[in-house]
Structure 1
Amino acid sequence: MDNRIRGFDGLRAIAVLMVFLQHRVLSGRDETGHLGVWIFFALSGFLITGILSAQRRTIERDASDFFTELKRFLFRRTLRIFPIYYLLLIVMAVLMMFGHAAPQLKSGLPFHFAYLSNIWIGEVLRYWPGPWSHLWSLSIEEQFYLFFAPLLLLVPVRWHLLVCCAVFVTGLASMLLMRFAGTPEIVVYTHPLTNFWMLALGGIGGAWLRVEGSTLRALLSRQSGFIAVLFGVTALCVTEPNWSAVANPAVYTLVCTLYGMGIAALVCAVACSGSTALVGVLETGWLASLGRISYGFYLYHNFVPDPARLNRVKALFHGAAEPTWVRFAGIAISFGVSLWLAKLSWRFIEAPILRRKAEWTQRVVNTTGRRAGLYKS
């Protein structure tokens, strides 16, 4: 459960940089940030499905039971994602009390605390609420864990690939039906079902790679296969802003499917190409370092203001557009502050917790086992 796959940290770094560029540099019509989010989804699906399959095998060997393994999984996930997430929400709630953090959006706090940010944005607001917008994807991941973990721990390992395929098909069918019904774009974008399929697709790719003599592994482990997938995903990313103009829901869904399959294939290509030069680039020191702290960077970056966009700075130019150097300086400062916060978070909160994660998890699991033994006796 703690094995590190070469290249994944670098891929996380590129994904979070895409999101940052979307929010700070690129136009509203660009969808580079969406690619970054879907890379995160495919990575999560790939890894989480493998972890849950390993835990289910433990159950099938009668070395553990469903409730123990579910508690193990959820407790480990809680230790990884809850501390800095809820710390941030508490800080923002305090700032709201004093009128320093968009108090008009305080109605969203209950949704954020319940990991329902995507529901608040898509079903309640139906617009993107500035610095809170990126929390929708974290809610999707948490909802997926709560749905997927009990499901995979209940069913035999031999059915896991079938379960992932069922979630994949259900998600695409939901997207197709929503498009036919004329559902607002933001609702489709943030709905759980229209995103779960991307995580399930990462799980499908991981399951196929683990099959002995896998054709998928043979294709993607080649450098030519890696490059072909990379170019295909890039081409689809560039054209994504035009997809919303596609009138035919079936064509739109087909293109989304191809895009998702390309992203999942890219994740799989990195996973099975540990010695290639391209994965070596992803293992570059600064990329791997950013990838390790990417969760904190993603969480904090949208709340760090761009100095060039502050009213006091704009007033210095008497209504004229700020110079290009000021614009880029603002982007660089916001990136630096976000990176600094993520590094502090990693050093003083996340890393210390992760070092104790195995010990704390074992303690919780052992407590569960002792209670189960008492009930049986």
Structure 2
Amino acid sequence: MRLDDERRIKGFDGLRAIAFLFVFISHKFHQGTYASLGGDGVMLFFALSGLLITRILARTRVAVEAGETTTLAGLGRFYLRRSARIFPVYYATIGFFLIASLFVHFDGFEGGAPAAIMLYATNIYVFTTGHWVGHFNHFWTLAIEEQFYLLFAPLLLLTPSTAARHICVAFVVLGLVTQAGLEWAGASTKVIGLNPMTGFGYLALGGLAGLNLDRRAPAWLVSMPAQAIVALALLIVPLTVLKDEIVWRFYAPAVSAAAALLVFEIAENQASRFVALLETWPLRSLGRISYGCYIFHEFIHFYNVEAAARKFGLVFEAPDWISAPIELVFTIGLATVSWRFFERPIMAWAHRATPKAAPAAA
């Protein structure tokens, strides 16, 4: 697949669905067995974002060098489209809680936390203060991605296209050095895991995968068995060898590399049966709304459903196992409504407002 190919990459929506389910399971089933599974889900999200964002920026830089657009126009187009994708539902959610917090207390949503969350600095707030932010904890991954966009996009668009791989390698090396230094200094897993530079390294690994899609890969590396082996490893290893969160954190770079390899394999071999599985309607549909699912899932709890039912005089006994499936159904329902009536229309407007690059003015 060539770097300038703008066709939708089959299998990526399905992979997003799996990444979300990994995170959902780790958050809803609090036993230690599943905790590391969420980390794998985050690495898949980082690999996907890194690959796609780097491809977009590299393609734009090539257009700049060809005189088809300007750096400023390319940067504006990138940020407008990214903002239309990630800001609306994020800030709508925060706005809801800001208003609701005038009447109800939310754990962790006090002091400087709301401001940090609004500024996409949740990760920095948590590891500098040592305090988690309640049901808003999962916003740390969104913060790292946004911080990466702010730094990475200008770097790729202001430097020659030939420098893109070197920039990604530099981010990966800096991330590894940062993690090694923090490990050596005895920093907590919280500081190591939420540090922006380690996260940037994980995203850059996905970027390297994206930049190498225009090179012919060995058939065995991208074959269906190879795809299945890497996918199964990402499922099984966190449930066995790396089920301890501290151990998982130490091997996080290897997990990130496996996630980047998987997205590379999928993009390079679009005709495999594994990709066909990822393209099935349930996974593809869930992946399309996975961003909303990710944002909403930590705010939807079965005990709230029970409390609401009691207000209408309905009291029922439900087994413990049923709470997570019901929460998943409510999460998917809310994300579906958000996607159809809120997110997708805004994205469509942004794409209309930012057409493909036109020749630059003389």
TM-score where L is the length of structure 1? 0.86
Within 2, Cα distance between the matches of 1:358 and 1:311?
42
Letter in 2 for 1:244: I
**By how many angstroms is 1:122 displaced?**
1.5
Work out the CA distance in 1 between the residues paired with 2:273 and 2:162.
35
- Over 3 Å counting, the alpha-carbon distance change for 1:269 and 1:166 in structure 2 is same
SS of structure 1 residue aligned to 2:31: coil
Instruction: Determine if contact 2:217/2:268 at 8 Å carries over to the other structure.
Output: no
CA positional deviation for 1:311 = 8.3
- Look up the match of 1:339: 332
**1 CA distance for matches of 2:107 and 2:82?**
30
1:118 aligns with 2:123: yes
1:11: which partner in 2? 15
Matched, 1:240 2:233: no
Moved over 4 A (4+): 308-313
Structure-2 residue corresponding to 1:316: none
Residue by residue over 1:352-374, the C-alpha shift from the partner in whole angstroms, topping out at 9 and shown as x without a partner, is 112222222249x99xx8xxx8x
Hey, what's the Cα distance between the residues in 2 that align with 1:309 and 1:195?
35
After superposition, the Cα gap between the structure-2 partners of 1:329 and 1:72, relative to the gap in structure 1 and judged at 3 Å, is: same
Deviation, 1:257, is 2.8
Give, in whole Å, the separation in 1 of the partners of 2:99 and 2:57. Answer: 37
Distance of 2:30 and 2:221 partners within structure 1: 31
User: For residue 275 of structure 2, what is the aligned residue in structure 1?
Assistant: 279
Alpha-carbon separation, structure 1, partners of 2:210 and 2:188: 33
Aligned partner of residue 97 in structure 1, secondary structure:
coil
Question: What is the CA distance between 1:336 and its match in structure 2?
Answer: 1.5
Q: Distance in 1 between matches of 2:296 and 2:181?
A: 35
Q: Offset of 1:351 from its aligned partner?
A: 1.2
The answer to whether structure 1 residue 226 and structure 2 residue 219 are counterparts is no
**Could you say which residue in structure 2 is the equivalent of 1:61?**
66
Distance 2:220 2:170 in 1: 25
Aligned 1:38-49 pairs, distance under 5 A:
38-49=43-54
Q: Deviations over 1:290-340 (max 9, x none)?
A: 000000010111011232897899xxxxxxxx98x5212222221111111
Matching residue's letter, 1:279 = V
Matched-pair contact (CA < 8 Å) for 1:96–1:103: no
Distance between the aligned counterparts of 2:203 and 2:183, measured in 1?
Answer: 21
Residue 76 of structure 1 aligns to which amino acid in structure 2? R
Instruction: Give yes or no for contact 1:96–1:106 (8 Å, CA) kept in 2.
Output: no
Higher helix share: 1
* 1:130-153 deviations in Å (ceiling 9; x for gaps): 311100000011001001000000
- Once residues 232 and 332 of structure 1 are traced to their aligned partners in structure 2, the CA distance between those partners, rounded to angstroms, is 25
Residue matched to 1:305:
301
Instruction: Name whichever of 350-359 and 10-19 sits farther off.
Output: 350-359
Q: Distance in 1 between matches of 2:20 and 2:247?
A: 27
Deviation, structure 1 residue 245: 5.4
Tell me whether 1:72 sits opposite 2:73 in the alignment. Answer: no
SS at match of 1:105: coil
Give the 5 Å matches for 1:111-190.
111-124=116-129, 126-190=130-194
TM-score, with structure 2 as normaliser: 0.89
* Deviation sequence 1:57-79 (CA, Å, 0-9, x none): 01000121111111110011011
Note if contact 1:70-1:150 (Cα within 8 Å) is conserved in structure 2.
yes
Letter in 2 for 1:241: K
Cα distance in structure 1, aligned partners of 2:332 and 2:262: 26
In structure 1, C-alpha distance between the alignment counterparts of 2:8 and 2:123, rounded to whole Å? 30
Give 1:257's aligned residue. Answer: 253
Cα deviation, residue 127, structure 1: 4.1
- Equivalent position of 2:40 in the other structure: 35
Q: Aligned partners of 1:159, 1:237: CA distance in 2, in Å?
A: 35
Aligned-pair identity (%): 34
- Count how many residue pairs are aligned between Structure 1 and Structure 2: 350
Q: CA deviation at 1:260?
A: 1.6
2:104 partner SS: coil
- CA distance in 1 between partners of 2:112 and 2:307 (Å): 25
Greater CA drift, 256-265 or 110-119: 256-265
Higher normalized contact order (CA 8 Å, seq sep 6+, divided by chain length): 2
Contact 1:127 1:186 in 2 (8 A): no
User: What is the distance in 2 between the residues matched to 1:2 and 1:60?
Assistant: 18
Q: Which runs of 5+ in 1 are unaligned?
A: 247-251, 314-321
